[in-house]
Structure 1
Amino acid sequence: MADSINTTRTYEPTAPRRVAFIGLGVMGLPMAGHLARAGHAVTVYNRSAAKAAAWVAEFAGASAPTPAEAAREADVVFTCVGNDDDLRSVLLGETGAFAGMKPGAILVDHTTASAEVAREMQAAAKARGLHFVDAPVSGGQAGAVNGQLTVMCGGDAAPFEAMKPVALAFSRAVTLVGEPGAGQLAKMVNQICIAGLVQGLAEAVAFGDRAGLDMKQVLDVIGKGAAQSWQMDNRGKTMVDDQFNFGFAVDWMRKDLGLVLDEARRNGAKLPVTALVDQFYADVQGLGGGRWDTSSLIKRLR
């Protein structure tokens, strides 16, 4: 785990807080690491106790056997788990985080989940005298490792302002975009944008290959103009090289696009390109690429 965070990251001075972090996956592990490096007293929980023990060995925090124990006495509790059901499982019930949190504490959820579950958890927190902020992130594993995530938040202003300086340990921007659930809706907008961009980039690279161009050179050229994007800068040349063993997995993207399409059915938004790209990702899964990076869309075109 020695490379789990960027150790050259500098942190803005802020008052040390007692925090908990629940969920030490590829995103949560480095995020919790940055909180510890920033001077906060961190207690972690993970379903795999071995991973929690390894985190403690590296960052000198503490671990707990249940989410409730991890959350006890914490000012801010962060969660980053897989989906709506995972979130409910770590927050609700006798061993859930809500059961252990002190009155007035703040639960900040970084899971990419539905707006519906965010509103549900906000209501559950409020009924217990707690606060809830839905706060999905963008920036991928590299952003988590480097402490440069973008966090889009939904919730009330007071708990948002209280959690923001703490969350800046692993972020470059933490922004309140609206009421409970709005953070998750903003993340859906983010994923809609990415789906279209990656498909366009995949088609461009495949076209250039067929035309006999040196696509790495072409990407360098057009990357200085109007076609430039994060996806082009970070995934264009790896597409050319047929490298997809890193970054945000197709399985995760399909989960996210499922949330997007479910929400669109509720609100009436028309998403023809997003729906099509979702099916293209299903094709990639059929090729055995569920764990490939999302830029693997180009595999369909070769």
Structure 2
Amino acid sequence: MARVAFLGLGVMGYPMAGHLAARGHEVAVWNRTAAKAEAWAAQHGGRVARTAREAAAGAEFVMACVGNDDDLRQVCRGADGAFAGMQPGAVFVDHTTVSAAVTRELAAEATEAGLGFVDAPVSGGQAGAENGQLSVMCGGTPGDYARAEPVIAAYAKICRLMGASGAGQLTKMCNQIAIAGVVQGLAESLHFAEKAGLSIADVVEVISQGAAGSWQMANRYQTMAENRFDFGFAVDWMRKDLGICLATADETGASLPATALVDQFYKDVQNMGGGRWDTSSLIARLRK
């Protein structure tokens, strides 16, 4: 069992840290809203820290799951940042979805300080985090990954090293690009069924058994049909992720026309007041 710090107790981080405690790891937690950390400790035990540095002190592994590039920089750097509290040889594991650029930037700083660094964004949503069934895509050195993987296993269905620092974030971009297209296609399919006077349940029962079947169809068609969008990953966060994808595509020369279009569709959803709706809410735009 390891001494672990977990920084960021949002809808993903809270249950992920819980799985670490359930596996018997010694867990210290920090969250910008201290009440969330206190609630976690009351439920799972462990130690509540006042700063990221305090949480990281003495930890063999420091896990982070925060909001964006700037949040990650703030958690890592400065007098109260995690890097200042970590001991040489400790490994920082970043589960935040951020740019590959900030990952490489912080990984270089960690290396200079004698620390390991693994970028390890996740896919599977809130349900995957709660059930310990996340897909974890990693970047970093083989040595750092080999040390971190048994700890990550507490909440992973699959965990794989994809390449050097930043490769995990690039793989997560592939994930978000694929999801965007699938959700838009599903939204249009269900909308078409409605307009054609078909039973959505019957349509899905038939087409899900063929080439059209997908995780999104199996898990979201019913709530989409019922106009309920309080499940899983929020539109605001998806737009953040797609912005990273599109910016990276410009840097690499990749062409993402469908992704750019769906990003604008999500902007429409935001303008409808749906920024906190889940990503399946693309169908609401078609119904307006």
TM-score, reference length from structure 2: 0.99
Quick one: percent identity of the two aligned structures? Answer: 63
Task: Indicate yes or no: 2:49 matched with 1:64.
Answer: yes
CA distance in 2, matches of 1:62, 1:273: 46
What's 2:32 paired with?
47
2:277 partner SS? coil
CA distance in 2, matches of 1:107, 1:247: 26
What's 1:222 paired with?
207
Shift of 1:221: 1.3
CA distance in 1, matches of 2:210, 2:165: 38
What's 2:264 paired with?
279
Task: Indicate yes or no: 2:146 matched with 1:161.
Answer: yes
Task: Indicate yes or no: 2:62 matched with 1:91.
Answer: no
Per-residue displacement from partner, 1:169-214 (whole Å, max 9, x unpaired)? 0111110001000000000000000000000000000001001000
* 1:182 corresponds to which of 146, 149, 167: 167
Shift of 1:238: 1.1
* 2:253 corresponds to which of 250, 268, 272: 268
CA distance in 2, matches of 1:50, 1:97: 20
TM-score, reference length from structure 1: 0.94
CA distance in 1, matches of 2:33, 2:117: 25
* 1:117 corresponds to which of 85, 102, 106: 102
- Contact 1:219–1:237 under 8 Å retained in 2: no
What's 2:238 paired with?
253
Pairwise mapping of residues 74-153 of structure 1 onto structure 2 (< 5 A)?
A: 74-153=59-138
2:154 partner SS? coil
* 1:296 corresponds to which of 276, 281, 284: 281
CA distance in 2, matches of 1:261, 1:199: 17
User: What is the total number of aligned residue pairs between the two structures?
Assistant: 287
Per-residue displacement from partner, 1:90-145 (whole Å, max 9, x unpaired)? 00011100000010000000000000000001000001000100000000000000
* 1:28 corresponds to which of 13, 16, 23: 13
RMSD value, Cα: 0.5
CA distance in 2, matches of 1:147, 1:268: 36
What's 2:179 paired with?
194
Deviation >3 Å, runs of 4+: none
CA distance in 1, matches of 2:202, 2:24: 44
What's 1:3 paired with?
none
CA distance in 1, matches of 2:98, 2:148: 20
1:289 partner SS? coil
CA distance in 1, matches of 2:53, 2:68: 19
Shift of 1:281: 0.2
Task: Indicate yes or no: 2:160 matched with 1:170.
Answer: no
- Contact 1:108–1:133 under 8 Å retained in 2: yes
Shift of 1:71: 0.4
Residue type matched to 1:232 in 2? M
Shift of 1:246: 1.6
Q: What residue ranges of structure 2 are gaps of 5+ in the alignment? A: none
CA distance in 1, matches of 2:187, 2:107: 39
CA distance in 2, matches of 1:98, 1:220: 51
